[in-house]
Amino acid sequence: MKIAVLGTGGGARAHIARLGGLGHEVHVGTRDPRATLARTEPDMMGTPPFGSWLADHPGIELHTFTEAAERGELVINGIDSHNAVAALSAAAEQLAGKTLIDYAVPFVYNPDIAHPWPTPWGVMPTLDPCDSDSLAEQIQRALPDTKVVKAFVTQEQDTVVDPKAIGGGEHTMFIAGEHADAKRQTTDLLKAYGWSDILDLGPLVAARGMELYAHMHSAIGFALGFGTHFGIKVVR
């Protein structure tokens, strides 16, 4: 299947590599492919430049967001949350009728703080939107002809693409969205990744809870020790 991954960060790379391994034709989108490939320094998250990563992953094509969106039959959105609505809106025509899986946490980046993530516990990031809206709903409103599904967001993306690495895969993935066929497509992808417990939380308004969960995810991660991988299981 032709799958577009929009974004070149650490999360996007987890999906790109895994999708390639599953035999999909992966089309990666970035704002400016030449600029992305010209970068030689790690980004603010410490992620190595995409060009060197790409050299180790032959067969992956790099395009603009619009070109990648056009080629993908299914689209995964890994664009950073503050640029997502604008960048996706510019590709609305290419995304029309397609499933778009969004996994962003809309943390507010504070340029006065060198590292945007929480530290134990000097800095807590805040979320925007928060509580009465969600990024996924904003994207759906901006792209009414696209079928937005919120998923993946409650786990690290390395875990999303390889759930069995933790507890033998005995944990839970959540999805939400307005379109049953798009949620079926997302579920099929998740099963291919190795997920067996996939809980449909209903319409896209449930994305609020999924995004707000980011604070718990951070707190659990810090409590277990930075770098410890974990999953959340709904026990019933």
DSSP symbols for 17-34: HHHHHTT-EEEEEES-HH
Per rule CB under 8 A, is residue 202 in the interface with a copy of itself? yes
What is the pattern of x (binds a copy of itself, CB under 8 A) and - over residues 131-160? xx---------------------x------
DSSP symbols for 154-202: TS-HHHHT-GGGTGGG-SEEEEEES-HHHHHHHHHHHHHHT--EEEE--
Phi, psi dihedral angles at 95 (to 5 degrees): -95, -10
CB of 147 to a copy of itself, least distance (A): 17
CB of 234 to a copy of itself, least distance (A): 5
Q: From the CB of residue 103, how many other CB atoms can be counted at a distance below 10 Å?
A: 25
Cα 99 from chain centre: 14
CB of 116 to a copy of itself, least distance (A): 15
In the bound state with a copy of itself, the residue whose beta carbon lies nearer, of 146 and 218, is 218
Count the residues of the shown chain that bind a copy of itself, applying the rule CB under 8 A. 46
Cis peptide before 121 (omega within 30 of 0): yes
| Residue 192 in tokens | 């291919």
Distance CA 124, CA 126 (A): 6
Per rule CB under 8 A, is residue 236 in the interface with a copy of itself? yes
What part of residues 72-131 is at the interface with a copy of itself (CB under 8 A)? 120-121, 124, 126-127, 130-131
In the bound state with a copy of itself, the residue whose beta carbon lies nearer, of 7 and 125, is 125
3-state SS, residue 65: helix
CB of 5 to a copy of itself, least distance (A): 26
CB of 200 to a copy of itself, least distance (A): 6
Residues at the contact surface with a copy of itself, assessed by CB under 8 A: 120-121, 124, 126-127, 130-132, 154, 166-167, 170-171, 174, 176, 199-203, 205-206, 208-210, 212-220, 222-224, 228-236
